[in-house]
Amino acid sequence: MLCLTTSHFKHIRSVIQDPLLSWVRRRGGVLMAKFESRSRYVLTVLWIMTTLLIAMFVPDISKVISVIGGISAFFIFIFPGLCLMFAMQSEPVSCKTRVALTIWGVVTLICGAFIFGQSTTIAVMELLGKI
């Protein structure tokens, strides 16, 4: 069973909600308190429904943990690689440093995509009973 505190859920919700709200702002939309409130309700309901579905259909939590382990490659490799690549576009560094760190970001991104794809695919195939 997933056990999350209120502060965990607030962080998870903000990770999803903040890009959504900034997207609305960039499109020239005016953020109303009503929109923000509705998005909080929708995200809360989606989170609860997802947790409920996982609890109902996955009898063994170790299978869920293996899928989460595969997804963690995203946060270990892909996300830092992307951050490094984007940081090199805006930070004042020498051309040589910019190229070297951008290449390192691309290598990290590619390795992370491979690890993510392989481990998540294996975990999902085990979950579906195909391995």
pLDDT band at 15 (very low <50, low <70, confident <90, very high): low
pLDDT in tens, 41-59: 887 888 788 878 877 887 7
- CA separation, residue 96 to residues 9, 52, 81, 103 (Å): 42, 51, 18, 11
| pLDDT attached to residue 102 | 92
Terminal-to-terminal C-alpha distance of the chain: 25
Q: What is the secondary structure of 56-97 as a DSSP string?
A: HH-S-HHHHHHHHHHHHHIIIIIHHHHHHHHHHHHS---HHH
The rounded distance, in Å, linking the Cα atoms of 39 and 8 is 18
Which candidate, 33, 34, 40, places its Cα nearest to that of 17?
40
Higher pLDDT, residue 126 or 107:
107
pLDDT in tens, 62-109: 777 877 887 788 788 888 888 888 888 888 889 999 999 999 999 999
Query: Residue 26: pLDDT above 60?
Result: yes
| pLDDT attached to residue 127 | 77
Provide the residue type at 102 as one letter.
T
| pLDDT attached to residue 1 | 41
| pLDDT attached to residue 89 | 83
Contact indicator for 80, 110 with CB cutoff of 8 Å: no
Contact indicator for 112, 81 with CB cutoff of 8 Å: yes
Residue with token string 């595969």: 70
The rounded distance, in Å, linking the Cα atoms of 116 and 106 is 15
